[in-house]
């Protein structure tokens, strides 16, 4: 019987998810290249950080710790109040890809995650190109 590891296990579980999310929001707050993305968030990023950590845990194949606290993720519906076009999608992706790189998530797993993040972020667009 072969052991199949989830992306969650392959990156190092919750500690690595937390590191990734913290780096993502730190970059978003500090880098002017992500200023439009930052402007879409509340001044205090604590809630956003916490929710993304919980969500990514289950999305990456780890424990579902988001739904018991917040209900079904309903990603697209929860993001509809925000204008998300190509610029916002691209800033989100650039910020996440940089956070992944800074956290050492690369190689085959990094490429798989980049593709999954792209597909999800592209699906979140709600503005014409």
* Residue 3 maps to a domain: no
Q: Which domain holds residue 65?
A: 9-123
* Residue 31 maps to a domain: yes
Task: Count the domains in the chain.
Answer: 1
The pTM of this model reads 0.93
CA distance 99 to 92: 11
* Residue 102 maps to a domain: yes
* Residue 52 maps to a domain: yes
* Residue 128 maps to a domain: no
CATH number for the domain spanning 84: value is 1.10.490.10
Residue with tokens 């999954």: 116
**What would the pLDDT profile of 52-106 be if each residue is shown by its tens digit?**
999 999 999 999 999 999 999 899 999 989 999 999 999 999 999 999 999 999 9
How does DSSP assign the chain, residue by residue?
Answer: ------HHHHHTHHHHHHHHHHHHHHHHHH-GGGHHHHHTS-S--HHHHHHHHHHHHHHTTS---SHHHH-S--HHHHHTTS---HHHHHHHHHHHHHHHHHTT--HHHHHHHHHHHHHHHHHT--S--
Instruction: Output the average pLDDT for the chain.
Output: 95
* Residue 49 maps to a domain: yes
* Residue 62 maps to a domain: yes
CA distance 78 to 62: 22
* Residue 78 maps to a domain: yes
**What would the pLDDT profile of 19-66 be if each residue is shown by its tens digit?**
999 999 999 999 999 999 999 999 999 999 999 999 999 999 999 999
């Amino acid at each position: 019987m072969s052991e199949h590891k989830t992306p969650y296990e392959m990156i190092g579980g919750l500690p690595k998810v937390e590191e990734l999310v913290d780096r993502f929001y730190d970059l978003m707050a500090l880098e002017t290249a992500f200023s439009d993305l930052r402007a879409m968030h509340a001044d205090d990023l604590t809630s956003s950080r916490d929710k993304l950590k919980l969500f990514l845990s289950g999305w990456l194949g780890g424990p579902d710790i988001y739904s018991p606290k917040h209900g079904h993720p309903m990603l697209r519906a929860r993001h509809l109040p925000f204008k998300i076009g190509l610029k916002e999608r691209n800033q989100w992706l650039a910020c996440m890809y940089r956070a992944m790189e800074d956290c050492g998530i690369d190689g085959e797993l990094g490429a798989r995650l980049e593709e999954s993040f792209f597909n999800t972020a592209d699906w979140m667009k709600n503005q014409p190109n």
